[in-house]
Amino acid sequence: MDPSGDVTGLLRRFTDGDAEAANRLVPLVYSELRRIASSMLSRERREHTLQPTALVNEAFLRLVDQRSVTWQNRAHFFAVSATLMRRVLVDHARAHRAEKRGGMETRVTLDDAHVGGRERDVDVVVLDLALDRLAQRDEAAARLVELRFFAGLTVREISEVLGRSEASIQRDWATTRSWLFRAMTEGVTP
């Protein structure tokens, strides 16, 4: 039996109220959720207090509340999970800022954002604010950033989730990435 089909079926059963489906789903998705969490946290400041397991657990708790989602497939599940992990990281960064009032900022690396051949570090809160601005202008572009940067999905996987061609995803990613970088360097402030 195809594991991705199992995940999709279990997600749909869970949404329909089958509590046992969640118990069967966790072992099938946990290692991938932990990989996504580890990847996200590897771009954070070294002294970050969240660990991958804690990030997965917090995101999973929020995921349980997502009963209104119509799950398309496995990639869609991981995209939603990554978005929830983003929310956890942003909430954590904002709480950290509130405690420190101008202390060390939470930093992440913007995937594929190269200027003059150098990769740029960005503040996760500033990235979140820029994404909010982008969503006001172009919801689809903001979704693309979430899928590519936070979920770590490939162009092919994003194409499946969004039902669009890989060429259009690549084209939109290049444009969106440039817009996002400009928005973040223009001084979007928390």
Domain residue extents for the chain? 3-185
0.85 exceeded by pTM: no
C-beta of residue 144 within 8 angstroms of C-beta of residue 169:
yes
CB count within 10 Å of CB 159 equals 18
pLDDT for position 103: 47
pLDDT for position 60: 82
DSSP-assigned letter for residue 123:
E
Q: What are phi and psi of 149, to 5 degrees?
A: -80, -50
CB count within 10 Å of CB 104 equals 11
**Amino acid letter for position 74:** R
C-beta of residue 84 within 8 angstroms of C-beta of residue 69:
no
CB count within 10 Å of CB 62 equals 15
**Long-range contacts formed by 92-95: CB under 8 A, 24+ apart:** 92/49, 92/50, 93/123, 93/124, 93/125, 94/125, 94/190
The tens place of each residue's pLDDT in the chain, 190 residues long, gives 445 558 888 888 888 888 888 888 888 888 888 888 887 777 776 666 788 888 888 888 888 776 677 788 888 888 888 888 888 888 887 787 666 654 444 444 454 443 333 334 557 778 888 888 898 999 889 888 888 877 778 899 888 888 899 999 999 999 998 888 888 877 654 4
CB neighbours of 125 closer than 8 A, spacing ≥ 6?
90, 93, 94, 97, 105, 106, 190
Tokens at residue 55, please? 């990030």
**Residue-by-residue DSSP string for 82-122:** HHHHHHHHHHHHHHHHHHHSS-PPPEEEEEEEEETTEEEEE
Dihedral sign computed on CA atoms, order 111, 178, 168, 85: positive
User: To which residue do tokens 């039996």 refer?
Assistant: 1
pLDDT for position 165: 95
pLDDT for position 91: 85
